[in-house]
Amino acid sequence: MFNTLSDRLSASFKRLRGKGVLTEHDVDETVSDIRRALLDADVALPVVRSFTKQVREKAYGAARSEALNPGQQVVKIVNDELIEILGGAERELNFATKGPTVMMLAGLQGAGKTTLAGKLGQWLRTEHDKRVLLVAADLQRPNAVTQLQVVGERAGVDVWAPEPGNGIGDPVEVARTGRDHAITNGYGVVIVDTAGRLGVDTEMMEQARAIREAIDPHEVLFVLDAMVGQDAVQTSVAFRDGVGFTGVVLSKLDGDARGGAALSVRGVTGAPVLFASTGEGLGDFERFHPDRMASRILDM
Amino acid sequence: VFGRGDLSVEDWEEIEDTLLMADVGVEATDEIMEELRTQAKVLGTGNVEAIREVLRAKLLELVNPDMDRTLALEGADAPGVVLVVGVNGTGKTTTIGKLARILVAEGRSVLLGAADTFRAAAAEQLSTWGERVGVDVVRSDREGADPASVAYDAVEQGSARGVDVVVVDTAGRLQNKRDLMDELGKVKRVIEKKAPVTETLLVMDATTGQNGMSQARLFAEVVDITGIVLTKLDGSAKGGIVISVQRELGVPVKLVGLGEGADDLAPFDAAGFVDELLSSPASR
Ligand SMILES: Nc1nc2c(ncn2[C@@H]2O[C@H](COP(=O)(O)OP(=O)(O)OP(=O)(O)O)[C@@H](O)[C@H]2O)c(=O)[nH]1
Ligand SMILES: Nc1nc2c(ncn2[C@@H]2O[C@H](COP(=O)(O)OP(=O)(O)OP(=O)(O)O)[C@@H](O)[C@H]2O)c(=O)[nH]1
Ligand SMILES: [K+]
Ligand SMILES: [Mg+2]
Ligand SMILES: [Mg+2]
């Protein structure tokens, strides 16, 4: 009857909106539709569970209270609950009070870290008037160093690349000397690009932790591809426990993925999503908006 | 002991969770669950292990071990041409490096075409792979060159040199970008002025969730996919979305990526894939 789940969800919300009185059966049906929609949007199963549980309880409450417009209330409950999990109020980046602000980028292979280094560099240079240094500490992926150099040049910021990479050089050492170079030369911000790594790769996770310990960053940004599915939970937890991160950047949001991963990573780690990466160009980068993300996930 | 002919609610839920957590998707999962419930009734069993066996068989049937998973690499009187496509960062360039290594080991002569003229250092990355595996790379010395003409040059040079296979790398692109998808269609058309593309591989990252379906549909619309490469299976993701993707496209997963090294590419093994998918649920 309905083509898509979002149609179903909209219809089910519409039905609720029109209701003067809400039964618990109505609530159950709608919650089941919401569950489906969230799973279709790649929200992780454990997060879907706790989310629907909370919505169900609040909605039962609304149903029992026989308040005016209970349907409207359920709609509002769902939306508010989503926005709440997605982060509520936004926060600013942590800047150092003295010396350069140090940022480290981490994430799975191909997530968008190196591209983000350029985006952050350009944004901090133009919007925050900072002198930025990018540090080429991915010495593994073929030509990651060259890629960062190109990106840095496009962004109009300097790049610290003492090692050629492609398997040569020690990334921990490069990160350390990069930070020292920034301190000595009065840079405002240092952004350390690291190699992509899998959460299950203990050796590489240890390396990431060693980089972190060597540079003591003000922000560790975990870059997560918006197209990721249920693995978002395992991977986020692995990076949380293995490296530790202070914020999340959701990348490739210019695609047509619903981006339920935003809810997963936030729901599971509690770390705020700070930015959305929305394209391959250096300007394709914006603040993360929980309210927009909520409607995107629900496709409403 | 539970009632004959059925599992406990928890057992059913655990099976459903395994499928959902592996990115099999709600629709396919519902379908599989319905069939399992029917089978449980037919067999009159409340035995979890028996139902898990049925599930394994059902998944194997869906993955379909009988599909032809060989690569089409024989051109008529031109080289075989492999075109590699997919969204950003899935592992196209890396897969090409690994594939070239395998082809060379099989005794074929190979030429690579760097038709990703867009991403920073993409051609350098492919060139590094070419050096690693001992294969030449045709590239433009100009950033932002027309990808179709680089691809054409590669195939033309491959023909002239009489190589067996030309593998063409393309820039990652999100499937909802109309202009970039049109550009990809053009790359293929221009290549085919010289020689038919014998194999078009869609490279999909195993961490991909339900968006994989949209990727499959929209890429197939512009370049007619003939095989799927599932990368990054060495991670914790199971890649369950390919079950629906295979069905949607009627095209099999042919290769899997199992790491970043030159030897980390393997033929797709249906039984191994299903066993992995059913092995300990991702988290609980
Ligand atoms: N469409 C789109 N593409 C993006 C975005 N961010 C990055 N990309 C692309 O995704 C691909 C991978 O980006 P990289 O920045 O190289 O990713 P990475 O995390 O550094 O990758 P590794 O170093 O290999 O782990 C490239 O093709 C980028 O152009 C985004 O927000 N939108
Ligand atoms: N662990 C693992 N990493 C992989 C695999 N395949 C590729 N990678 C890594 O994934 C990242 C992206 O790989 P690329 O080959 O550059 O991906 P791409 O699709 O060519 O990327 P774009 O050209 O930017 O769209 C790199 O860091 C690769 O080393 C794999 O099977 N397993
Ligand atoms: K896996
Ligand atoms: Mg990188
Ligand atoms: Mg590439």
pLDDT surpassing 50 at residue A157: yes
Q: What is the pLDDT of residue A112?
A: 98
CB contact (8 A) between residue B88 and residue A261: no
Confirm if B33 and B9 have CB atoms less than 8 A apart. no
Q: What is the pLDDT of residue B130?
A: 98
- C-beta of B94 in contact with ligand 2 (< 6 A): yes
pLDDT surpassing 50 at residue A1: no
Q: What is the pLDDT of residue A91?
A: 84
State how far Cα A192 lies from the chain centre.
18
Q: What is the share, in percent, of chain B residues with pLDDT greater than 90?
A: 90
pLDDT surpassing 60 at residue B4: no
pLDDT one-digit tens code per residue, A64-78: 776 666 666 777 788
CB atoms near residue B185 (< 10 Å): 14
CB contact (8 A) between residue B208 and residue A235: no
B258-277 burial: b if 16+ Cβ within 10 Å, else e:
bbbeeebbeebebeebbeeb
pLDDT one-digit tens code per residue, B21-72: 999 999 999 999 999 999 998 888 888 899 999 999 999 999 999 999 999 9
- C-beta of B172 in contact with ligand 2 (< 6 A): yes
Q: What is the pLDDT of residue B86?
A: 98
Average pLDDT over residues B204-213: 98
Beta strands at A219-225 and A189-194: parallel, antiparallel or unpaired: unpaired
**Cα distances (angstroms) measured from residue A261 to each of A52, A70, A281, B61:** 16, 30, 23, 30
β-sheet bridge partners, residue A137: A194
Strand residue runs (E) in chain A:
101-107, 132-137, 158-160, 189-194, 219-225, 247-251, 273-277, 285-287
pLDDT surpassing 60 at residue B3: no
- What would you report as the CA-atom Rg of chain B, rounded to the nearest whole angstrom? 21
- Residue to substitute in A108, A109, A114 for testing ligand 1 pocket (most ligand atoms within 8 angstroms of CB): A114
Q: What is the pLDDT of residue A77?
A: 82
- C-beta of B263 in contact with ligand 2 (< 6 A): no
What would the DSSP string read from start to end of chain B? -PPTT---HHHHHHHHHHHHHTT--HHHHHHHHHHHHHHHHHHT---HHHHHHHHHHHHHHHH-TTS--------SSS-EEEEEE-STTSSHHHHHHHHHHHHHHTT--EEEEEE--SSTTHHHHHHHHHHHHT-EEE--SSTT--HHHHHHHHHHHHHHHT-SEEEEEE----TT-HHHHHHHHHHHHHHTTTS---EEEEEEETTB-THHHHHHHHHHHHH---EEEEE-TTSS---THHHHHHHHHT--EEEEE-SSSTT-EEE--HHHHHHHHHSS-S--
State the residue for tokens 């959701």.
Answer: A250
Confirm if B56 and B278 have CB atoms less than 8 A apart. yes
What DSSP state is assigned to residue A87?
Answer: T
User: Which residues of chain A are within 8 Å of residue B88 when distances are taken between CB atoms?
Assistant: 110, 112, 252, 280
Residue B129 distance to chain A (closest CA, Å): 8
pLDDT surpassing 90 at residue B282: no
Joined tokens for residue B168: 């063409």
pLDDT surpassing 50 at residue B85: yes
Q: What is the pLDDT of residue A9?
A: 64
Q: What is the pLDDT of residue A78?
A: 82
Confirm if B225 and B216 have CB atoms less than 8 A apart. yes
Joined tokens for residue B162: 């009489």
Distance A190 CA to ligand 3 centre (A): 34
User: Which residues of chain B are within 8 Å of residue A154 when distances are taken between CB atoms?
Assistant: 120
ipTM: 0.96
Average pLDDT over residues A165-179: 97
Distance B246 CA to ligand 3 centre (A): 18
- Model confidence at B283, in pLDDT bands (50, 70, 90)? very low
CB atoms near residue A173 (< 10 Å): 16
pLDDT one-digit tens code per residue, B133-145: 999 999 998 888 9
The atom number, within ligand 1, closest to the CA of A285 reads 31
- Residue of chain A whose alpha carbon sits nearest to that of B129: A142
- Residue to substitute in B84, B85, B93, B268 for testing ligand 2 pocket (most ligand atoms within 8 angstroms of CB): B93
Find the ligand nearest to B204 CA. Answer: 2
- Residue of chain B whose alpha carbon sits nearest to that of A141: B260
pLDDT surpassing 50 at residue A2: no
Find the ligand nearest to B258 CA. Answer: 2
- Residue of chain A whose alpha carbon sits nearest to that of B18: A45
**What are the phi and psi torsion angles at B169 (to 5°)?**
-85, 145
- Residue to substitute in B102, B117, B260 for testing ligand 2 pocket (most ligand atoms within 8 angstroms of CB): B260
Confirm if B132 and B79 have CB atoms less than 8 A apart. no
- Model confidence at B190, in pLDDT bands (50, 70, 90)? very high
Q: What is the pLDDT of residue A59?
A: 81
pLDDT surpassing 70 at residue B82: yes
Sign of CA dihedral B243, B245, B251, B255: negative
Distance B99 CA to ligand 2 centre (A): 13
CB contact (8 A) between residue A256 and residue B87: no
The half-sphere exposure of A64 on its side-chain side, counting CA atoms within 13 A, is: 6
Cα A77 from Cα A146, distance rounded (Å): 49
| Mean of all residue pLDDT scores within chain A | 91
Which of A143, A146, A229 is opposite residue B23, by nearest beta carbon? A229
Confirm if B211 and B237 have CB atoms less than 8 A apart. no
pLDDT one-digit tens code per residue, A97-132: 999 999 999 999 999 999 999 999 999 999 999 999
**Cα distances (angstroms) measured from residue B44 to each of B23, B31, B57:** 29, 20, 18
CB contact (8 A) between residue A229 and residue B237: yes
Average pLDDT over residues B229-233: 98
**In what helix (H) or strand (E) does residue A262 lie, and over which residues does it extend?**
helix A261-269
- C-beta of B118 in contact with ligand 2 (< 6 A): no
Q: What is the share, in percent, of chain B residues with pLDDT greater than 70?
A: 97
**What are the phi and psi torsion angles at A58 (to 5°)?**
-65, -40
Residue of A3, A202, A231, A263 to mutate, interface with B, max B Cβ within 10 Å: A231
pLDDT one-digit tens code per residue, A180-219: 999 999 999 999 999 999 999 999 999 999 999 999 999 9
Burial class of residue A181 in the structure, from the number of CB atoms within 10 Å of its CB (0-12 exposed, 13-18 middle, 19+ buried): middle
Q: What is the pLDDT of residue A275?
A: 96
CA A296-A108-B274 angle, 5° bins: 85
What would the DSSP string read from start to end of A18-38? H-SS--HHHHHHHHHHHHHHH
Confirm if A122 and A179 have CB atoms less than 8 A apart. no
**Cα distances (angstroms) measured from residue B36 to each of B43, B190, B239:** 10, 48, 21
pLDDT one-digit tens code per residue, A14-66: 776 667 677 888 888 888 888 988 999 999 999 999 999 998 888 888 777 76
B283 or A131, greater pLDDT: A131
- First-to-last alpha carbon distance for chain B, in angstroms, is 24
Find the ligand nearest to B203 CA. Answer: 2
Which of B119, B175, B210 is opposite residue A229, by nearest beta carbon? B210
CB contact (8 A) between residue B207 and residue A238: no
In 3D, which of A268, A261, A264, A258 has the Cα closest to residue A297? Answer: A258
